[in-house]
Amino acid sequence: MEPSFNPHPAANGRGRHRAARRPLLADVARAATEQAGAIAGRTAVVAAAGSGVLLSLVAAPAHAAPATELAGSPVQGALNTADINALADQAKQAVAAAPVVTVATDAELKVESAAVSVVSAAENEAYQAELAAEAEAQAAAEAKAAGAAVVSIGMRYLGVPYVWGGSTPAGMDCSGFTSYVYAQVGIDLPRTSSEQRYAGPVVSWSDAQPGDLIWSPGHIAIYAGDGMQIEAPVPGQTVRYTQIWQSNPTFIRVL
């Protein structure tokens, strides 16, 4: 019997050949799909060398056929042109966001050093001036608080009778009153008004603060602020809170 005539022997041969290689193309497409996330941060090329087909994740030719057509049947996870272009865009964005700087292996790092001068706190004039200003401000605040305390204490003895030579709440003269009040804030004043005149530096009326002494020949009082004073005036009267009546008083800072 003569053998049957096959009009397309080559076609059948190619068909069998393609079917034998189909799993390889499917595997390539599947691997490329699974690894797309891993290669999105860098430029990558996937090559299917066994079949002679090149799948580029950087730039696919306009006429390249989808992987489904290459395989001859639908392939799950196959990459099409749109997928490849999207991956390429992601790769470009990743490279732009995290550029890599290449340095030659024989590059040398040179660090220049300069002399550093150190000035001690004691020799630093600006620092010392700052400390002095802070100390002065603190002292002024403490003096102001002490002056307010002196005025507050002096107001307790309003109405105490004037007694010549007296220095207690039972009776006080002008210098006995001031010395008694200041003793309660820890300051010992001389007993007489003429001695209290030199108990501290003189300040102007405009710079006077509550708690300063007000001296005039033969008399001494406590400045209460706002042109007012507390004093033990003269025999027959009592300790009082009144306006400054002295014509040319001297203000003395003792706090």
* Residue 229, strand partner residues: 223, 242
30-81 pLDDT per residue, tens? 554 555 444 444 443 433 333 334 444 444 444 444 444 444 444 444 556 7
User: If we measure between CA atoms, which residue out of 35, 31, 90, 24 comes closest to residue 58?
Assistant: 90
pLDDT value, residue 146: 94
93-143 pLDDT per residue, tens? 776 776 666 767 777 777 777 777 787 888 888 888 999 999 999 988 998
Residue listed under structure tokens 């966001």: 97
179-232 pLDDT per residue, tens? 999 999 999 999 999 999 999 999 999 999 999 999 999 999 999 999 999 999
pLDDT value, residue 245: 96
Q: Give the global pTM.
A: 0.52
Q: State the sign of the Cα–Cα–Cα–Cα dihedral 237, 238, 242, 243.
A: positive
Q: Which helix (H) or strand (E) holds 32?
A: helix 9-34
- Amino acid found at 209: Q
User: Taking phi first (over 0 means left), then psi (-120 to 50 degrees means alpha), and beta for anything else, what does residue 202 get?
Assistant: beta
pLDDT value, residue 132: 92
Q: Which two tokens stand for residue 88?
A: 């390429």
What letters, b where the CB count within 10 A reaches 16 and e where it falls short, cover 158-185?
Answer: eebebbeebbeeebbbbbbbbbbbbeee
pLDDT value, residue 84: 75
Examine the pLDDT at 172 and tell me if it is beyond 80.
Answer: yes
Show the DSSP H helices in 73-209 as ranges: 81-97, 125-155, 174-183, 193-196
pLDDT band at 90 (very low <50, low <70, confident <90, very high): confident
